[in-house]
Structure 1
Amino acid sequence: MSTRVSYPTEIKLKAVEMRLRGQSVREVMEQLCIKNKTQVETWLRWYRNRETHRFEQPVGKQYTYGKGPEVTSEVERLKQENRFLKQQLDGLKKVQGVGKEVSPEAAVRWMDSIKGGVSIQLACQWLGIARSTYYRWKHQMNTQQISNPIVTRIRELCLAHKFRYGYRKITALLRREMQVNHKRVQRIMREEGLQCRVKVKKRKGTGQPFQVADYLLKRDFRAEQPLQKLVTDITYLPFGKKMLYLSSIMDLYNGEIIAYSIGDTQDTNLVLDTLNQLPAVERCMLHSDQGSVYTSNAYQQAVKEKGITMSMSRKGTPADNAPIESFHSTLKSETFYLEDFTCTTTAIVVQIVRNYIYYYNAIRIQTKLNNQSPIEYRQLVA
């Protein structure tokens, strides 16, 4: 049976202080030669529960809850109270992370928490500030609750215009009366809940709405021969100096990317360029979502001219187009996110995408293709 170790009060306080600074339990144990990590956790719990009187109790001695060891005199009791308050102050400084200086807000809150336990003069000495400084800080915090004239005027303007204006227009109105920074107006409106309440306008589609095709694919992602069922979609490439878009078409027969285009504008020309890369096909179905570029008149006409049957996902159901959605996710995960290329040049973004699509088609094996790449699988079956 091991003998329980009794640690001095100073060691216990030092351990708590180190933990409050953010040091790990292991580091505390190594530096202070503490054998059991439970001890450190227990001391920290006592400190947080304001039961620091337990630091002085001997091993095996349990005092009544909420009571410490009996004091022999009033002087001893005051010493214990002062020691507890100093420990609180040290913890306050460590937790605030401001070194020897404590912010006015933290100092006032701490002084209020010990009110009646120690005189203000003594507490100010511990903080290293003058009494006048403490009272000035407290007065400033109290007066902060009083409405500022600018806040009142902003509230009046927002109410007068029935919350139709954002911070830019409110700033323009205020500048007719006073000099004010737009950032301050924005902060006040945010804090006071005075933002514009007009419904956000919906963005217009980049294509001309024409018609929505029926949902013919019905999540049947199997194809018996090449170019029988195709799926297409557009994804964002926010990794370069400007936003790029990737439009790609996948053959569900072997999961091969048979056409793709990269552009800096998500418009009908982008998807038409991808569509025009397809070879001549017969009895082919092309599935997409209901994006405006796919419902546009130009795209629909181009699909018909190629003799392709159009299919579209149901609104708000991306799972209807899962294979191409999965490919786009895999592309980003295995390139930009894996290699931490989250902020690079536009040329590098394009090159990475081109290299990966070649790798995906010709080299990357897939379990569903008997551990072969899409091109290997197509050539083997042919």
Structure 2
Amino acid sequence: MSKILFNEHQRRLLEANPNVNSVSDRSIQYKPEFKVLAVKENQSGKGPSQVFIENGFDLEMIGTKKAKESLSRWRKSYQLHGEDGFFEERRGKGSTGRPSTEGLSPEKKLEKAEARIKYLEAEVGIVKKARGTREAGEEIILTSAEKYQVINEVIRKFQLKRFTAHLCKVAKVHRSGYYAWLEKTEVHAIREENDYQDYLLLKCVYDAFKGKIGYRGLYMALVELLEIPMNHKKILRLMRKFNLFAKIRRKNPYKNIAKATQEHHTVPNLLNRQFTQDEPGKVFVTDITYLQMKTGQTAYLSCVKDVASREIIAYELSVSLSMRIVYRTLRKLSEALAGNVHPEAMIHSDQGFHYTHPEYQTRVKAMQLTQSMSRRGNCLDNAPIESFFGHFKDDVDYKEASNLLELKKMVDEYMEHYNCTRKQWDLKKMTPAQYEGTEKLTLLIS
């Protein structure tokens, strides 16, 4: 069962979505048409998060896990029963009266029968809830307010708005009392709305810190924004209520494995920030950056940059952080060099687990490259590649990519632009490709 509880305000927001039939405090009943649409869009390549977001659902409210699990069940049902499987499960919305069925079509008769079944299920459901028993078999006596809550849930679940009087009779409460209780829910709704407005304020600050903030940090941030600061206990209550959790930075499991096995080794910082180089092909820098697409999926870009010419010599795009991404990058670098390796060639990186891996270091030596590494936690030691990634993320709308193919096209186009058409002031106003060709020609002549 889901750990997320929907409050009254959230239930009303979800019920306003045309793809929803009804909402309880823990579950959502979706319309069969939406289930069919979701399965087809998922088969066309869209992820569960993208499908739900594009159809008006707030994943912060319902949770990404609920979207994935729902779509997984629908795919299985679609494979077994096709589209009809979804519509067979739907209970009709026809009249539950007893008019004559003579002259009705088979479809209308079926609709009325389904409506009658739905009505009987509602009646049985309310009796069961009103006759709950304890472990010892003692009958539970529900309060009137609890019965009103049950009636309200049954009406919402089965869409039986015209049977309030009968349900009150079944639950042995007065209809007037139910309507009085219903009016009080408006007061609760106002309170919920106030909580929701405060949540929106908290969410703005929460998003500004990219979720890496707790209730204490939010309190300190709001002190500067509000004349009357929000109580820290209220902030904590609202965070729990609306599922705002501080994103905790966790240890890299690969680093733990490296420590346990003692197989990974770092090497000295031989480059020592000597970024002013005159000979292309002598010093390379490499690193990996994260690229998050519109669907929420993360891709990883591994690049090798020539420090002298500033040209991107090799790059690899992948949705996995496995060792294959750096192995393929090395292979592309080897193909680009085509055996013309500078006698003092060096490749510099940070101390990431990819670059301390013994197999990676073996392949670097086989290419006749000397390996160098930045000092721990010092990104400035690898400034040239960090600078390139900064320009890349400023110039490329990678967050608009819907899938890996779109992102790869963006990356390929930018690499071509960066190497061949983007002139740089410090390269004598030439592009990296032009500068490399000019410098190599100068070295040959000299």
> If each structure's helix is expressed as a fraction of its own residues, which one has the higher value?
2
TM-score scaled to structure 2, two decimals?
A: 0.41
Bigger CA radius of gyration: 1
